[in-house]
């Protein structure tokens, strides 16, 4: 696999219209300049998500590039959205 960024399955954009809201887990924070940055991982890259006390746990699927080294991806962000088509468990 050719890597043009560290984790090819993670998306990033400053334009909320380009975010696949229904089919992804999306988290967001603000840059130093105050602009909002959206990051996401699509439902095809994960098995399920769960959360507790503001910490989101994502269980990665076998086809995820990150999964070759880790089983879970943990996110703590001011804004987290879980799309309607993302498996929760």
The pLDDT profile of the chain, 89 residues, written as one tens digit per residue, is: 344 566 678 899 999 999 999 999 999 989 899 999 999 999 998 999 998 887 899 888 887 777 777 778 888 888 999 999 999 98
Whole-Å CA distances, 85 to 1, 24, 43: 27, 8, 7
Q: For the whole model, what pTM was predicted? A: 0.84
pLDDT, position 6 = 63
pLDDT, position 20 = 97
Angle made by CA atoms 52, 35, 56, in degrees to the nearest 5? 10
pLDDT, position 89 = 80
Residues 57 and 50: beta-carbon distance below 8 Å: yes
The residues spanned by each domain of the chain are: 15-82
């Amino acid at each position: 696999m050719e890597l043009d960024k560290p984790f090819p399955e993670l998306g990033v954009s400053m334009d909320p219209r380009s975010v696949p809201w229904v089919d992804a887990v999306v988290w967001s924070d603000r840059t130093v300049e105050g602009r909002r940055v959206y990051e996401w991982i699509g439902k095809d890259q994960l098995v399920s998500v769960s959360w507790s006390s503001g910490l989101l746990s994502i269980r990665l699927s076998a086809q995820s590039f990150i999964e070759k080294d880790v089983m879970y991806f943990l996110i703590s962000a001011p804004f987290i959205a879980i799309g309607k088509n993302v498996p929760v468990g």
